[in-house]
Amino acid sequence: MNEDQKKEAERKLRLLLAEATELSWAFPGELGDSLRASPEYVVFECQIPSVNFRYHTSSGHSRVYKDHDGTERVIALTNKIRSALLRI
């Protein structure tokens, strides 16, 4: 990855994290707190098979939520955030 690609990936990540913060206020309690603090570790049950081990392990920092706790937008957003982090 060259410097321009890295800067673009970092810019996209900042936008995704800002979106996670904005969406977090719609979710009271632990889910909202986790979306603000570390959305890359927010994992929904439907994501478990595809989440990189860095972001989901039984002894890790991840929190597994029921699919109905989130929305399709949040589920997709957490996937995008993890993908962006892995690119960087």
Answer whether 62's CB lies under 8 Å from 42's CB.
yes
Q: How many structural domains comprise the chain?
A: 1
Contact 42/21 with Cβ under 8 angstroms? no
Structure-derived torsion over alpha carbons of residues 14, 71, 78, 60, reported in degrees to the nearest 10: 130
Rounded distance, CA 60 to CA 21, Å?
22
Given this model, what pLDDT does residue 13 score? 97
Residue 61 pLDDT: 65
The range of the structural domain enclosing residue 68 comes to 3-87
Helix, strand and coil percent figures for the chain, each rounded to 5: 65, 5, 25
Run means of pLDDT, 10 residues per run, the chain, 88 residues: 91 97 94 94 90 75 80 93 92
Token pair of 4 as six digits: 């321009």
Backbone angles phi, psi at 42, to 5 degrees: -85, 115
